[in-house]
Amino acid sequence: MADAVTKSLSICAISTALPSEKATSLDPSGSDAFDRHNKPRLRRDLILHALSTAFPSTTFKVPPSSSCNLVELYTRVHDVEMVSFLSTAWSKWTAMGEAKGYYEECCHPQWKQTEDEPIPPLIPCHAAFRNCPNERPSTNVMGAMGYYCTDNMTPIVASLEKELQEDAMIICHAVKRAFEDSTVVYAITTHPGHHANIDNFGGYCYLNNAALCARLMQRQLENGKCVIGDDNELVENYWKTVDESSSSKRKKCRVAIIDVDYHCGNGTSSIFYSDSSVFFTSIHCDPAIEYPFNQGYADQTGCGDGEGSNLHIPLAPGATWDGTYKAALEKAMDAIVNFDVAGLIVSLGLDTYDGDSVAVNRAGFKLSGKDYYEMGLAMGSFMKGKNVPTVFVQEGGYKMDTIGMAAANVVGGFAAGASE
Ligand code: OKP
Ligand code: ZN
């Protein structure tokens, strides 16, 4: 009898909770009430529920950590001052006090005070003049919000700082699991991250989870050390352990990010635009029609050292799997394989689903059910036999009745495609 050579990849869903600890009802609550489309907390809970149902006993609960220093963790991704702003904004905002009339000035016009949330979400009401050299982020939280945040749909709310810390810890543990358990990992963060740029944020995104994941993977490839130590705690001063001579080994530290959210991952693209060590590819609705409008065109291929390491594949509205999506995905995966990567990140947005509600004038894509399995299967097939650690990172997705199924289909398809 021949030796068994079948190697089936396992799936690990990473969350800060166990499925039983999260709501699975379709009723959004708390901070999700801000926006009638964006329900990040509900999405997180539904995906956790769906993955743990589809792949029983694969949920990894991030152990409660004594501290997560976002400023330190994100030093290789974002402007330090912006991360520091995000970490302190809510407490500064609450401290301004209603009596001064500030809350009224910088709260959403649709905000209705409730007993649960007596303090309004903070949104920008003072836009920055980006090309003016005399602008700087004010020490006043309202001014700084106008400086860093690019739109009025990405509010600072009470639960945000804790959620961002949890999201960062999820990414850290996802990298550990991907490297140590050779499993496909799904990082169930609360917030998406792909519109968060080096020093500005918006589009429902605050910090760029995929970019952090890429930097952590590269760091681990470089020196073999994970950001999460054997004690399951964050390694202190992780970035300071960089061996500068390692740049000669750079080819071994190449990673790729494929962004399949319906919207272009403009933040991730910008962060790595001049970086030849990270290949970024995004399949999205034509930015001439859809958010983020000013980025995501096919002729934007990277700059400087990074020329050629950025591949945007804009598709016309109404894209179907057989029509244009499958070919686009194959083009993107082919480019990734040619780039010869040692780590893969999938920025997984599920708003390509037929009928998703955020599309402008219902432009939208038309993927559904089995298309998501095919998507995962195709990605996995390209990576088969390569033994490349892979992390799925949560981006958007707004069709709540199908989102859990779509997420499970992609990751299940990937495991099947990549298994030998
Ligand atoms: C974030 B992600 C709602 C319009 C919203 C902005 C979409 C942000 C998408 N009426 N437009 O990429 O899914
Ligand atoms: Zn999106």
pLDDT tens column, 216-245: 999 999 989 999 999 999 998 899 876 655
What pLDDT does residue 1 have?
Answer: 39
* Residues 6+ away with beta carbon under 8 Å from 359: 262, 285, 290, 317, 351, 365
Task: Tell me the one-letter amino acid at 199.
Answer: D
Kindly state if the Cβ of 137 falls inside 6 Å of ligand 1.
Answer: no
Count the neighbouring beta carbons within 10 Å of the beta carbon of residue 66: 6
Q: Which amino acid is at 14?
A: I
Contact 47, 396 (CB under 8 A): no
191 lines ligand 1 (CB under 6 A): no
The answer, yes or no, to whether any atom of ligand 1 lies below 6 A from the CB of 395, is yes
Q: Whose CA is nearest to atom 12 of ligand 1?
A: 263
Residue whose pair of structure tokens reads 């088969």 in the numeric block: 384
Taking the CB of residue 40, how many other CB atoms lie within 10 A of it?
24
> What type of residue is 276?
S
Q: How many CB atoms lie within 10 A of CB 51?
A: 26
What's this model's pTM, rounded to 2 decimal places? 0.95
Output the CA 282–ligand 2 centroid distance in Å. Answer: 11
Angle, helices 80-96/141-148, rounded to nearest 10 degrees: 140
Quickly state the pLDDT bin for 118 (edges 50, 70, 90): confident
Catalytic residues: 195
d(CA 294, CA 203): 13
Q: How far does the centroid of ligand 1 lie from the alpha carbon of residue 316, in Å?
A: 17
Domain boundaries, the chain: 2-68+160-418, 78-148
**What confidence category does residue 29 fall into, taking pLDDT thresholds of 50, 70 and 90?**
low
Q: Is 343 in the pocket of ligand 1 (CB under 6 A)?
A: no
Rounded distance, CA 13 to CA 41, Å? Answer: 16
Handedness of CA 244, 187, 174, 239 (dihedral sign): positive
Atom from ligand 1 closest to the CA of residue 397 = 13
pLDDT class of 100 with cuts at 50, 70, 90: low
Q: What six digits make up the tokens of 63?
A: 């152990």
% of the chain surpassing 70 pLDDT: 91
Confidence (pLDDT) at 4: 44
Residue 5 has a pLDDT of 47
Each residue of 277-305: pLDDT tens digit? 999 999 999 999 999 999 999 999 999 99
pLDDT at position 57, please?
Answer: 74
* Mutation probe of ligand 1 site: the residue of 204, 284, 295 with most atoms within 8 A of C-beta: 204
* 364 Cβ below 6 A of ligand 1: no
Nearest CA to ligand 1 atom 5: 358
Q: Name the residue with the closest Cα to ligand 1, atom 3.
A: 358
CA atoms within 13 A on the CB side of 9: 34
The residue type found at 180 is: E
C-alpha span between 193 and 212 (Å, rounded):
10
Q: 3: pLDDT confidence band, cut at 50, 70 and 90?
A: very low
d(CA 375, CA 380): 9
Distance CA 164, CA 159 (A): 9
Is the N-terminal amide bond of 317 cis, ω within 30° of 0? Answer: no
For ligand 1, atom 2, the nearest C-alpha belongs to: 396
Ligand 1 contact, 192 CB (< 6 A): yes
In contact, 413 and 374? CB cutoff 8 Å: yes
The protein residue with its alpha carbon nearest to ligand 1, atom 7, reads 203
pLDDT above 90 (res 9): no
Identify the helix (H) or strand (E) that includes residue 89: helix 80-96
Residue with more model confidence, 3 or 380: 380
- Residue 396, ligand 1, Cβ within 6 A: yes
Which residues are bridge partners to 344 per DSSP? 256, 390
Classify the phi-psi angles of 130: left when phi > 0, otherwise alpha if psi is within -120 to 50, otherwise beta: alpha
Q: Indicate whether residue 353 lines ligand 1 (CB < 6 A).
A: no
Ranking 94-108, 147-161, 237-251 by mean pLDDT, the lowest is 237-251
- Of all atoms in ligand 1, which is nearest to the CA of residue 194? 12
Handedness of CA 278, 241, 85, 17 (dihedral sign): positive
Contact 121, 109 (CB under 8 A): no
- What is the end-to-end Cα distance of the chain in Å, rounded? 18
Least confident of 194-198, 242-246, 254-258, 385-389: 242-246
Tokens of 373: 């399995």
Task: Tell me the C-alpha distance between 89 and 78, whole Å.
Answer: 16
Looking from the CA of residue 351, the nearest atom of ligand 1 is 13
Q: Calculate how far, in angstroms, residue 203's C-alpha sits from the geometric centre of ligand 1.
A: 6
Span from the CA of 125 to the centroid of ligand 1 (angstroms):
19
Distance 255 CA to ligand 1 centre (A): 27
The label of the residue with tokens 């050629």 reads: 308
Q: Is the CB of 36 under 6 A from ligand 1?
A: no
Annotation: CATH topology of 2-68+160-418: Arginase; Chain A (3.40.800)
Starting at the edge strand found earlier in the chain, the sheet holding 184-187 runs 59-61, 11-15, 184-187, 390-394, 343-348, 255-259, 278-285, 310-315
DSSP class of 6: -
Distances 119 to 64, 92, 94, 96, 413 between C-alpha atoms, Å: 28, 12, 7, 10, 44
